[in-house]
Structure 1
């Protein structure tokens, strides 16, 4: 995975949005950054599909 600039968004995101990756990481025994990386990859790969399904 490439290095990306970090942005602070925790003060803008809903608490349940921030809690979800933490819960997944705890239940799978993986680091939270790994879970977030998988999520980012999914967003990149399926971005068009997500946009279309949100309409």
Structure 2
């Protein structure tokens, strides 16, 4: 199973895939000022557990 780009995670939420032995291929970090809105959701889960 391949996941492609996953949804956003924030504030210590888990992200990625656990138990699949996949390597990390990309990371995107989006910093927002305190009190500003977080990025809108992508409609895709941010974490998958096997």
TM category (shorter chain) comes to under 0.3
TM-score normalised by L of structure 1: 0.21
Superposition TM-score, scaled by structure 2 size: 0.22
Could you say which structure has the higher strand fraction?
Answer: 2
Pair member with larger Rg: 1
